Structure 1
């Protein structure tokens, strides 16, 4: 925990040294490829600062995993939807801490060629996060986040990522997440800020 807080503080400090950049935008939409261990698919997410330093967030991911073993074929779908509310705390001209609370809905369905009934399950839970976003330059952003998630069971997750803008509004993002169950998540895609 202390190492995570130290890395968040370091990111904020790094961002504060580049006065030509602005605050990171909390008004954006993005989408792309996502992978959670053996599952892969697509994700769409966004954020909107509807009043000063308060924002809404939301995301949707659709993932799939197909297994074939000894003639048994299993197809599993995983759909994850979130909606949240966050608070922005600027710490310099180019960096902000944020706190966020999200509701999570997780839908799982699985079918196989064994003739057994299909499996469907739905769970909901929550996630509490704190993070920092910092603009290194006017077109390069880095961020880190620490989250506590509780759906099937409680877990802690650390996220590292970055956005590289190709124009004033359009860019690319890459992100890596790992939780204390050693689940690895990779996200890559296109981002648009407004």
Structure 2
């Protein structure tokens, strides 16, 4: 009798496990490499590389909070007035937000979110034989997006969002788009790739995500 009851329990649990695997998760942490590509002819269309971390957590049946932080930098070497010189550019960007998600079908969700985004920029000029000079600036902006997120298959996930990014007088408002996907190795671990674009900036990110 115990064996029959155990077999029945396992069979009953199997559809639930498969169903869970077919739904997207809003509880995850991830980290990886990121690159900003700026369309700026004056600076030769600079690309700056670095890393990022990101996380999301459900605080209700259809509401999640999320946060992220990215850091990119690039160093230029040259000469100034006959002296060896270097210029290092750094950009670190934290963000915090809250999102809403609503099922549209068994595998597709409608999503909407708002976030606070801060861009911190630092430039450091070093010239041999002289004290280095540093210049810093920052911008606070708000972003709102709507989109869809779903699972084309049990081991894949995709999302697309569009919205608006505005920093008031410090950062003129602009449309922003986001396209990404994930390939799962297991129900927990997956490889994530994402592209975000606004104005003359394109940010590409590749990382590893742990969903729970």
Bucket of the pairwise TM-score, normalised by the shorter protein: 0.7 to 0.9
Q: Which runs of 5+ in 2 are unaligned?
A: 1-18, 38-46
SS in 1 for 2:153: coil
Query: Aligned partners of 2:88 and 2:146: how far apart in 1?
Result: 35
1:170: how far off?
A: 0.3
1:160: how far off?
A: 1.3
Query: Are 2:153 and 1:132 equivalent residues in the alignment?
Result: no
The normalised TM-score by structure 1 is 0.84
CA-atom RMSD in angstroms: 1.7
1:108: how far off?
A: 1.2
* Aligned twin of 2:209: 191
Q: Greater Rg, structure 1 or structure 2?
A: 2
Q: Any conservation in 1 of the 2:143–2:163 contact (CA below 8 Å)?
A: yes
Partner of residue 159 from structure 2, selected from 129, 143, 153: 143
1:116: how far off?
A: 5.8
Question: How has the CA–CA distance of structure 1 residues 26 and 72 changed in structure 2, closer, same or farther, with 3 Å as cutoff?
Answer: same
Greater RCO (Cα-Cα under 8 Å, separation 6 or more): 1
User: How many pairs were matched up?
Assistant: 175
1:68: how far off?
A: 2.4
Q: Which runs of 5+ in 1 are unaligned?
A: 1-18
1:46: how far off?
A: 1.0
* Aligned twin of 1:91: 104
* Aligned twin of 2:189: 170
